[in-house]
Amino acid sequence: MITSSNMITYNDRSVVVETFPMGIDYKKYESLSNMPTVAHQVRNLRERFQLQHIVLTIDRLDYSKGILQRLQAFELLLQMHPEYIEKIGMCMIVVPSRDNVQQYAALRDEIDKLVGNINARYRTMGWAPIHYFYRSFPLEILSALYNLADICLVSPMRDGMNLVSKEYVASRVHHDGVLILSEMAGASKELIDAIIVNPNNIGAIARAIDEAINMPVLEQRRRMLPMRQLVEKFNIHHWVKLFMDTLNEVKRNQQSMLAKRINTEMAQQLAAKYAAANKRVLFLDYDGTLVGFKVNIEQASPDEELYALLEELAADPRNSLVMISGRKFETMEQWFGRLPIDLIAEHGAWFKLKDKEWRQQPGLHDQWKKDIQPILETFTDRTPGSFIEEKSYSLVWHYRKVEEGLGELRANELMNTLRYYTSDKALQLLAGDKVIEVKNVEINKGKAANSWLQSRDYDFIMAMGDDLTDEDIFKALPEEAVTIKVGSYMSAARLYLRSHREVRHVLKMLAKAAAPAVTEK
């Protein structure tokens, strides 16, 4: 699995992860507040409750809603502020949900008992602190309650969004009222002008209710107006449009990045085009392209079959064979220095023409390593099986040996940490197959390939690679180039193969197709 920004690539499938905070039908709730029938219901409810301050809570029956903690907080408020007795009341609506399940039935019993205890302890002849309704209500009644309530208390222990808070805000057409909102509800990330509370802290909830009771009207309006504007803008229609637009964009991107798998017929056409060319260049990545990945990176050395294949391709005088890899130049020299091929190491930091000496790209520096290496060492100490590979102008954190699950977790943590520390440096972060690499931004396989093509007139250009760094080559090469992604069809490349074995098979077909022409010469 490879993660990059908000995209996860797993088993040839790319999944985009995005947040879409759900909205409500703002105009519907706003218009309800202006309806005569709702205004009539508000008058009736006000006469019934005859209270100075009304706290409204609406939830379905669920452990995640924090209903018991809310009741405890309200009881604590009455203990701390006896002056609120007969002046405040909680209107609590619990909508039946799964009460045929034993645990939910037990929760309902607990709520019934706690409401009964609080009412029995504090009620007076003409006043009860809690008005509890275990039922659902028509929308007009709910709108009347939203308009009636001075305070809306929404304190779930955990909630994806919670639309009650948005419905209350949309209903406050006079821009008054106070919303108390749990920090554990998704809506708290949007409705930041609410009083935000920790739902586990009943003392904090009690203090928030006290603050809401005593909040001046001007302060209420200062908070409510921006929340109403936000709920109006990010309504249900905006949510649907944003979701569908993003979905369509993802599909368009998938289609634009969709490489075609090379079948037998396509391979034969490619071989014919290759055989007819007079001057060719082949850019070949190494790990994951010509050989499979190994748990120990030093064990991924070339085998005799690969050596024979590369020698056969390099023997054709019409070919320029360029091995372009992220490996250290010392390793590349050890493995391929004896072959008559050109070498590009460490993503372009080092290069070597056949029979020449190694040269490095000018203008690079590695002073940044002293800041980044301690971070990688910290994560290595926390992650058994991981290790750091140091190259001339890059650092690589490997986690192929790490237990599955832990490696991905640490890799995501490391990427987030490195983004913070590299934001003001000329560095690039690359998330590859079980590796995270930090390198100079000037080092780029695409730039290296482009420099190779300058002042050379090739009539056949091909590039093969398997990871994110190879995408730079695919994007940099001219449109007529043959670009092949290995292991995934989501790529800027036009074609793809499933494995290094298929790569070798295609390269053998190319060598065989050109063999008669070479023999004739």
- What are the residue numbers of the active site? 285
78, 86 Cβ separation under 8 angstroms: no
Helix (H) or strand (E) holding 281: strand 280-284
Backbone region of residue 129 per phi and psi (left: phi > 0; alpha: psi in -120 to 50; beta: other values) = alpha
β-strands 460-465, 387-390: how paired? unpaired
38, 46 Cβ separation under 8 angstroms: no
Up-side HSE of residue 370: CA atoms within 13 Å toward CB?
Answer: 2
270, 510 Cβ separation under 8 angstroms: yes
Helix (H) or strand (E) holding 200: none
- Alpha helix segments (H runs only) across 257-359: 264-276, 304-315, 329-336
23, 231 Cβ separation under 8 angstroms: yes
Q: List, as one string, the DSSP characters of 68-125.
A: HHHHHHHHHHHHH-GGGTTTEEEEEEEE--STTSHHHHHHHHHHHHHHHHHHHHH-BT
3-class SS at 6? coil
Rg (CA), the chain: 33
3-class SS at 283? strand
CA 312: distance to chain centroid? 45
Which residue carries 């490879």 as its tokens? 2
Please state, in angstroms and rounded to a whole number, the distance separating the CA atoms of residues 288 and 298: 14
355, 412 Cβ separation under 8 angstroms: no
Closest CA to 164 of 65, 241, 36, 46: 65
Q: Quote the strand ranges of 118-158, DSSP E.
A: 130-133, 151-154
Please state, in angstroms and rounded to a whole number, the distance separating the CA atoms of residues 319 and 461: 10
Please state, in angstroms and rounded to a whole number, the distance separating the CA atoms of residues 318 and 517: 10
Helix (H) or strand (E) holding 479: none
Please state, in angstroms and rounded to a whole number, the distance separating the CA atoms of residues 464 and 282: 8
End-to-end CA distance of the chain: 48
Please state, in angstroms and rounded to a whole number, the distance separating the CA atoms of residues 235 and 230: 8
DSSP structure class, residue 388:
E
Which residue carries 């037990």 as its tokens? 106
Please state, in angstroms and rounded to a whole number, the distance separating the CA atoms of residues 47 and 42: 9
